């Protein structure tokens, strides 16, 4: 590679290391250099400037190149029931506790899911406990598109089952050639998508990456630089519901202090629980209870209408800003409480009621969230978002027909709501309705591509939708 020692090559190296979280060490520097040399040959790009433009441009070719780099630089080896002691603790203690508290509708995220074995193991546990995944939401994310494609196929060779009880294989898999395919009953309710723990939004309610009961992020952080570990761990904590658990590898948080959660020994493992009470651990700095009073005294000392005394509408607006920040930081308890105060001060504020609805849904307070949605619709009868929140609640309560009807109404109210199309596509996809899912995905894609690269916050979702449409069409 002629440009290996150039200034732009150094910038390319730093960009790749930062975006993929590769720690700064001599072996890793050499590994990145080897991969970049291979990619330069594969792409036929001899000039460092052109390759840098490829990586930094918002093009399909650029996204495919990042996919190739992720596949080459991430470690993806896994197998079913890896660390059997942990999964026994999940089966006997953590899952029963959470299932009872959430009326069986729990949310589990495998962050850095590789080929999907870890998340599917949780799905098998739920089935063996007679708590099928149709009542849960299980999502796996990874930066490696090849690994995600394997996970979605649900087919594995014998090496993925080392140490696994033969009875579990017989219950949940069907022989396929020299390997096994996971039963559709286990795969239902399990989804996979592209997500970069370092660079992508987190929490991300639009992607379903928030208000989690369990986050599994094992043997992922160990590959990150120390400052990246701290940043990612903080974001994962913010994605937990009160009472939820973060589970990492036993050595990954050694000697590190993790704020916002309390360590708990479960068998031979340490897991991290987010307290039920927001006062039990420090809330995010941007959304403390004292800050709401401070801001009301400071930011609204002068009325938005020009008077010296703040009006009820002014106070509601200030509270709404605080509630939004709390929701963005994963503090749904604070967000709901403050948003309801805002709604009480200004009942016409549809946005206040929507924040309360989102937060209530995150907490599993379905009836309270529905009530907030109804208040939002009363304030703004054409609110597409309120119907989407109602659809999410219907879905979580096991009412897919009602959920689909509500989403179709949301689309009728706002035909440019890409999130509505994506949510509808996901429902059809999980229900095995491939043609309808593909049609809804195409609707979302049309809207996202019409916006242009500058306006699409999550570029990866476009790539995911393209790939999923191709998979659905191929299987039709």
Residue 431, Cβ neighbours under 10 Å: how many?
Answer: 15
Check pLDDT > 90 for residue 390: yes
pLDDT score, position 192:
93
Single out the residue of 3, 79, 6, 98 nearest to residue 41, CA to CA: 3
Instruction: Count up the domains in the chain and report the number.
Output: 3
Q: Highest-confidence range of 26-40, 57-71, 92-106, by mean pLDDT?
A: 92-106
Q: What percent of the chain has pLDDT over 70?
A: 85
Same-domain pairing of 274 and 176: yes
Single out the residue of 369, 368, 371 nearest to residue 357, CA to CA: 369
Report d(CA 466, CA 154) in Å as an integer: 20
Check pLDDT > 90 for residue 102: no
156-167 core/surface letters (b: 16 or more CB in 10 A; e: else): beeebbeebeee
Model confidence at 409, in pLDDT bands (50, 70, 90)? very high
- Joined together, the tokens standing for residue 393 give 């609640």
What is the bridge-based pairing of β-strands 107-111 and 137-142? parallel
* pLDDT tens digits, one per residue of 176-235: 888 899 999 888 889 999 888 887 888 888 788 988 999 999 878 877 777 778 888 989
At 305, is the secondary structure helix, strand, or coil?
Answer: coil
Q: Highest-confidence range of 181-185, 253-257, 326-330, by mean pLDDT?
A: 181-185
DSSP string, 338-365: HHHHHHHH-TT-HHHHHHHHHHHHHTT-
Check pLDDT > 80 for residue 97: yes
Contacts 24+ apart (CB under 8 A), 413-417: 413/382, 413/383, 413/384, 413/387, 414/382, 414/384, 416/447, 417/384, 417/385, 417/388, 417/447
**Average of per-residue pLDDT across 337-357:** 91
Report d(CA 475, CA 1) in Å as an integer: 41
Check pLDDT > 80 for residue 52: yes
CATH assignment at residue 187: 3.40.50.150
Looking at the DSSP bridge assignments, the partners of residue 110 are 140, 216
Which of 24, 50, 73 is a domain's end point? 73
**Average of per-residue pLDDT across 232-252:** 88
pLDDT score, position 410:
93
Same-domain pairing of 268 and 160: yes
Same-domain pairing of 326 and 204: no
Check pLDDT > 60 for residue 308: no
User: With 0-12 CB in 10 A as exposed, 13-18 as middle and 19+ as buried, what is 468?
Assistant: buried
- Quick check: is 2 in a domain? no
Which of 49, 73, 97 is a domain's end point? 73
- Quick check: is 147 in a domain? yes
Same-domain pairing of 158 and 131: yes
Same-domain pairing of 335 and 203: no
Same-domain pairing of 270 and 295: no
- Joined together, the tokens standing for residue 193 give 């998508």
Report d(CA 295, CA 438) in Å as an integer: 47
Model confidence at 125, in pLDDT bands (50, 70, 90)? very high
Check pLDDT > 60 for residue 84: yes
Domain containing 54: what range? 7-73
Check pLDDT > 90 for residue 329: no
Sheet holding 262-266, edge to edge: 190-194, 137-142, 107-111, 212-217, 240-248, 269-273, 262-266
């Amino acid at each position: 590679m002629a440009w290996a020692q150039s200034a732009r090559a150094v910038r390319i190296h730093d960009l790749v290391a930062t975006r993929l979280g590769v720690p700064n060490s001599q072996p890793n520097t050499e590994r990145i250099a080897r991969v970049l040399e291979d990619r330069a040959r594969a792409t036929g790009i001899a000039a460092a400037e052109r390759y840098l433009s490829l990586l930094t441009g918002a093009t399909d070719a650029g996204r495919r190149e990042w996919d190739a780099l992720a596949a080459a630089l991430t470690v993806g080896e896994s197998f079913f029931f890896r660390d059997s002691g942990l999964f026994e603790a999940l089966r006997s203690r953590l899952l029963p506790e959470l299932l009872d508290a959430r009326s069986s509708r729990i949310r589990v995220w495998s962050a850095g899911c590789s080929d999907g074995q870890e998340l599917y193991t949780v799905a098998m546990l739920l089935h063996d406990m007679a708590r099928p995944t149709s009542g849960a939401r299980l999502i796996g994310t990874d930066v490696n598109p090849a690994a995600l494609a394997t996970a979605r196929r649900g087919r594995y060779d014998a090496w993925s089952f080392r140490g696994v009880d033969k009875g579990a294989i017989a219950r949940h898999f069907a022989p396929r050639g020299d390997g096994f395919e996971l039963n559709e009953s286990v795969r239902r309710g399990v989804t996979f998508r592209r997500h970069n723990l370092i660079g992508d939004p987190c929490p991300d309610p639009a992607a379903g990456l928030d208000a989690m009961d369990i986050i599994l992020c094992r043997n992922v952080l160990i590959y990150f630089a120390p400052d990246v570990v701290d940043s990612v761990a903080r974001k994962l904590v913010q994605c937990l519901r009160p009472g939820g658990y973060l589970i990492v590898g036993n050595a990954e948080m050694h000697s590190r202090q993790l704020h916002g959660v309390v360590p708990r020994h479960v068998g031979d493992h340490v897991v991290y629980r987010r307290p039920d009470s927001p006062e039990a651990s420090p809330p995010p700095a941007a959304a403390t209870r004292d800050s709401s009073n401070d801001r009301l005294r400071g930011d609204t000392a002068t009325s938005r209408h020009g008077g010296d005394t703040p009006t009820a509408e002014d106070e509601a607006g200030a509270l709404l800003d605080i509630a939004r920040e709390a929701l963005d930081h994963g503090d749904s308890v604070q967000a709901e409480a403050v948003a309801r105060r805002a709604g009480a001060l200004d009942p016409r504020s549809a946005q206040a009621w929507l924040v309360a609805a989102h937060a209530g849904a995150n907490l599993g307070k379905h009836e309270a969230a529905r009530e907030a949605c109804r208040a939002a619709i009363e304030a703004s009868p054409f609110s597409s978002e309120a119907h989407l929140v109602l659809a999410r609640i219907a879905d979580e309560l096991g009412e897919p027909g009602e959920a689909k009807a509500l989403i179709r109404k949301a689309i009728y109210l706002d035909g440019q709501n890409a999130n509505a199309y994506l949510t509808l596509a996901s429902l059809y996809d999980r229900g095995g309705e491939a043609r309808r899912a593909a049609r809804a995905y195409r609707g979302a894609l049309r809207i996202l591509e019409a916006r242009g690269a500058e306006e699409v916050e999550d570029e990866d979702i476009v790539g995911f939708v393209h790939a999923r449409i191709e998979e659905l069409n191929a299987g039709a």
